[in-house]
Amino acid sequence: MASVAALTGGAATAGYATYAYSLDEIDHKTKVFRAPANYTIGDEASSFDKFQAYVSTSAVTVPAKLVDLYIDLRRLTEEQVRGFTEPISEKLLPDLHPLEQHVFTLVLDLNETLIHSDWKRDRGWRTFKRPGVDAFLEHLAQFYEIIVYSDQLNMDLSMLNRDPKKVLYISAHGLESSLQSDNCVSIKPWQGEAEDTALLDLIPFLEYVAKHRPADVRTVLASYQGLDISKEFIERSKEYQRRMQDQKQHGRLWRR
């Protein structure tokens, strides 16, 4: 009976222990254990010997069927999960038209970047748009191919079918969720503040990138690492204007 308890206990903990292994590994490791037991006993055996043989067969057969059931259930679960987490195609977007190859792609996270959802007992779930989102989308649609995406699962920009040198990913959580963080433009998570202007503040920088078309946008973003891009871009623009003004003044003095 101790053997029955040990085997049953081992099968019961399979869901915990075997997730360290793939399904193929589990199948291989348990194949001998799950093989049908071939116990033979002669007619001359005593009733006690026959009973002991029956118990031994049951002790192996029942846990083995439990392992088979676990493998089937896990295979079904993993297939269902893959259906939601893996792209249905290696290309999430169709190819760009040859005349649009110069266009940059702007990938926008949905949650806490464009919208915020919350729940209250008296009204249930409600979803709110971030201030300025309509104007932001309408204006930048002139310059970018715009893709809206949810970062509830890891965002793999390499599946977009777009040149990563021309992709910007704006997200409140992009540095944690994106597998290509070099393309991320971090923005403050929006929790429903009415006075928020973060989206509108990004427009000058994004318009500049779209118009000047840098060879690799990742290099541009790297120069802003750890900084507030909206504020830093304005400061750099002012500094550039000051230098241009100084050069003009110097040119006038030189001509005199």
Name the CATH superfamily, with its identifier, for domain 98-252.
Answer: HAD superfamily/HAD-like (3.40.50.1000)
- For residues 175 and 181, the answer to whether their CB atoms sit within 8 Å is yes
Q: How many CB atoms lie within 10 A of CB 140?
A: 18
- Please state the rounded mean pLDDT for residues 203-232: 95
**What confidence tens digit (pLDDT) does each residue in 148-206 have?**
987 555 558 788 899 999 999 999 887 666 667 899 999 999 999 999 999 999 999 99
Average pLDDT score over the chain: 78
Tokens of 57: 């067969």
Who wins on pLDDT, 14 or 124?
A: 124
Q: Which helix (H) or strand (E) holds 211?
A: helix 198-212
Q: How far apart are CA 162 and CA 174, in angstroms?
A: 18
Distances (CA, A) of 45 to 3, 40, 51, 63, 115: 22, 10, 10, 27, 76
Q: Are strands 115-120 and 124-129 parallel, antiparallel or unpaired?
A: antiparallel
| pLDDT at position 250 | 76
| 235 three-state secondary structure | helix
**What confidence tens digit (pLDDT) does each residue in 41-78 have?**
566 666 656 555 655 555 555 556 666 666 677 677 76
Burial of 224 (0-12, 13-18, 19+ CB in 10 A): middle
For the chain, the domains span 2-85, 98-252
Per cent of the chain over pLDDT 70 is 62
Q: For residue 220, name the pLDDT band (cuts at 50, 70, 90).
A: very high
Tokens of 76: 């079904």
